[in-house]
């Protein structure tokens, strides 16, 4: 009998990893679904440092739903330890991985350099990065990309098909037909399901046949506000910041969220509702991803692109004339001389590093500043501390008072909300087994109860749980 073992993203949102062991004449064929980075504090760091062990030599294939680091960020670590098999993904995911994993390796190297300087001064043992750029290049060389809807044969007679998840560029729902006990079992992994209200992405595909479904539950305890209300709130925050003479800080994920925020700023600009005269995209990775989205626009929602083209009279260069893309450190530092009237979009999205933290030092203690949170903040991150009402935070060895006005605007989420998750789950016929992953424990319990009201039974697995297909 083929089995599935839960090795990550159980009881937490990050660290996605599931081991599929498929019946074979000479022992099981082992396939890894996802290889994500844990995010959020010291516990996450320890989980990331744990070796893969003998699994490295036993694996025959890796399947990846999309390019966000909590789903893909440990791939170079797996490769560094010796994995040389294929990594199956969509073309959009392959293109994003090149940007995201290179950036992750670069940031990691800088962080380790700083850490080891401190350790040297205090006579502590030095530490190594999880992986480096050479590991990333080897990882990219092992990627094999496939279009949506194309069946792919994997070891053990498993058939893989990717479906559009509508979350970010290249994001996929993973369908696996798996031989098990003389039968064929249909396993579906939702990946991260997109929010149909969000712009640029197409709606997630609905599937109807499955024996077992792994479904994300990131926002399983609530629905997002309607997009129109969200945009009105966003516009009001920008107007108030302009009136008070402060800057607007937007910690944004480089993939998906930054591009969506730029879209909405473009529409506001052409409606004459954007008073700020400077918008900075202060993230080299987000800049590269934005350029990739433009090159891959045929994969985006054509109706949303029509809106942009109409607003800018068809000239892509005029989508947002006040936009400045700051690639270098010097350009980023120069922004700190601007004391009001600017919108600064910078990573990291959960405020646990990156350029946004530097902008905190110059803006967070000013009451005129507006801090706009537009994405999920995992437990243990600085962003989560701020959302939970922290009056002070510590960054780069400095204590900062949080005097800026903080606005959490959830309607921009690229994840499906509760009603959308239930609707997606309800499309399946013949009552498959559901397992909730990618969610915090209390959130999962709320979703589990809501699903039960729709006569959909779902289980909440624990780390290390092993189930038969």
Instruction: Please give the Cα distance from 81 to 62 (Å, whole number).
Output: 15
pLDDT value of residue 297: 87
How much is the pLDDT for 330?
Answer: 96
Domains (range + CATH), the chain: 3-222+414-468 (3.60.15.10), 227-412 (3.40.50.10890)
User: What length does the chain have?
Assistant: 469
CA nearest neighbour of 216 among 455, 462, 447? 447
Nearest Cα to Cα of residue 363 among 250, 249, 281, 245? 249
pLDDT at res. 317: 59
Neighbours of 101 (CB within 10 A): 23
Please list, in sequence order, all residues whose beta carbon lies within 8 angstroms of the beta carbon of residue 72, skipping any fewer than 6 positions away: 34, 35, 36, 37, 64, 66, 93, 97, 100, 101
Residue 116: CB atoms within 10 Å: 15
Q: 154, 63 in Cβ contact below 8 A?
A: yes
CA gap 325, 282 in Å, rounded? 6
In this prediction the pTM is: 0.90
Helix (H) or strand (E) holding 238: helix 227-244
Which mean pLDDT values do the consecutive 10-residue runs of the chain (469 residues) have? 96 94 91 93 88 96 96 97 98 96 90 87 90 97 98 97 96 97 95 92 96 96 91 95 96 89 93 93 93 90 83 66 94 95 92 90 96 86 92 87 92 90 96 96 97 96 96
Decide if 300 contacts 292 (C-beta within 8 A): no
Query: String of b and e for 156-175 (b: at least 16 CB within 10 Å)?
Result: bebebbbbbbbbbbbbbbbb
Q: Residue 257: phi, psi to the nearest 5?
A: -65, -45
Look up residue 33 and give its DSSP letter. E
Three-class DSSP category at 450: helix
Alpha-carbon radius of gyration of the chain: 22
Residue 315: count other Cβ atoms within 10 Å of its Cβ: 9
Structure tokens at 161: 């098909």
Q: Are 110 and 165 contacting, i.e. CB atoms less than 8 angstroms apart?
A: no
Q: What is the pLDDT of residue 464?
A: 96
Q: In Å, how far are 11, 105, 179 from 281, measured between CA atoms? A: 33, 21, 48
Residue matched to tokens 């945009």: 231
Can you tell me the distance from the alpha carbon of 376 to that of 438, in angstroms, rounded to the nearest whole number?
12
Q: Which of 336, 377, 130 is nearest to 249 (CA)?
A: 336
Backbone angles phi, psi at 461, to 5 degrees: -75, 160
Distance CA 235, CA 213 (A): 39
Q: How many other C-beta atoms can be found within 10 angstroms of the C-beta atom of residue 334?
A: 12
Closest by CA position to 316, among listed 335, 300, 334: 300
Q: What is the pLDDT of residue 315?
A: 58
DSSP string, 151-166: -EEEGGGEEEEEEE-S
SS3 category, 63: strand
- Output the CA–CA distances (angstroms, integers) from residue 289 to 95, 167, 384, in the order listed: 9, 14, 25
Asked if 330 and 236 count as a contact pair (C-beta separation under 8 A), the reply is no
Q: Give the model's pLDDT for residue 108.
A: 87
CB 90 within 8 A of CB 174: no
Rounded CA separation 160/155 (Å): 10
**Residue 275: CB partners within 8 Å, gap ≥ 6?**
238, 239, 242
DSSP state of 205: P
Contact predicate 2/468, CB 8 Å: yes
């Amino acid at each position: 009998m083929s089995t599935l073992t839960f090795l990550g993203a159980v009881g937490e949102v990050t660290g996605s990893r599931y081991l599929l062991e498929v019946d074979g004449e000479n022992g099981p064929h082992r396939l890894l679904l996802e290889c994500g980075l844990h995010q959020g504090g010291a516990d996450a760091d320890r989980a990331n440092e744990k070796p893969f062990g003998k699994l490295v030599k036993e694996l025959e294939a890796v399947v990846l739903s999309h390019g966000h680091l909590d789903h893909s960020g440990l791939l170079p670590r797996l490769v560094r330890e010796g994995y040389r098999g294929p990594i199956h993904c969509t073309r959009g995911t392959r293109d994003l991985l090149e940007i995201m994993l290179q950036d992750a390796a670069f940031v990691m190297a800088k962080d380790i350099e700083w850490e080891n300087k401190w350790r040297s001064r205090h006579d502590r043992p030095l530490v190594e990065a999880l992986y480096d750029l050479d590991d990333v290049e080897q990882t990219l060389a092992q990627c094999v990309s496939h279009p949506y809807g194309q069946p792919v044969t994997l070891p053990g007679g498993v058939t893989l098909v990717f479906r559009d998840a509508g979350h970010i560029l290249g994001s996929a729902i993973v369908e696996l037909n798996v031989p098990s006990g003389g039968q064929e079992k249909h396993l579906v992994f939702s990946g991260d399901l997109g929010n149909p209200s969000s712009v640029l992405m197409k709606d997630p595909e609905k599937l109807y046949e499955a024996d077992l479904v792994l479904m994300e539950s990131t926002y399983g305890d609530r629905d997002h506000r309607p997009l129109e209300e969200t945009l009105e709130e966003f516009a009001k925050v920008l107007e108030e910041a302009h009136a008070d003479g402060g800057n607007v800080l937007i910690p944004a994920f480089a993939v998906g969220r930054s591009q969506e925020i730029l879209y909405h700023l473009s529409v506001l600009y052409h409606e004459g509702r954007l008073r700020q005269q400077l918008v900075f995209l202060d993230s080299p990775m987000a800049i590269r991803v934005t350029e990739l989205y433009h090159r891959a626009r045929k994969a985006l929602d054509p109706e949303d692109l029509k809106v942009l083209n109409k607003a800018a009279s068809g000239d892509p260069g005029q989508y947002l004339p006040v936009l400045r893309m700051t690639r270098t450190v010097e350009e980023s530092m120069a922004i700190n001389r601007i004391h009001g009237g600017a919108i600064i979009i910078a990573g990291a999205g959960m405020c646990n590093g990156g350029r946004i933290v530097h902008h905190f030092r110059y803006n967070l203690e000013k009451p005129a500043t507006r801090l706009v949170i537009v994405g999920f903040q995992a437990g243990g991150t600085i962003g989560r501390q701020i959302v939970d009402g922290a009056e002070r935070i510590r960054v780069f060895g400095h204590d900062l008072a949080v005097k800026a006005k903080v606005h959490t605007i959830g309607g921009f989420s690229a994840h499906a909300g509760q009603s959308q998750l239930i609707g997606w789950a309800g499309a399946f016929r013949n009552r498959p087994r559901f397992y909730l992953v990618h969610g915090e424990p209390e959130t999962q319990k709320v979703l589990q109860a809501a699903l039960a009201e729709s006569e959909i039974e779902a289980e909440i697995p624990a780390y290390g749980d092993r189930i038969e297909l």
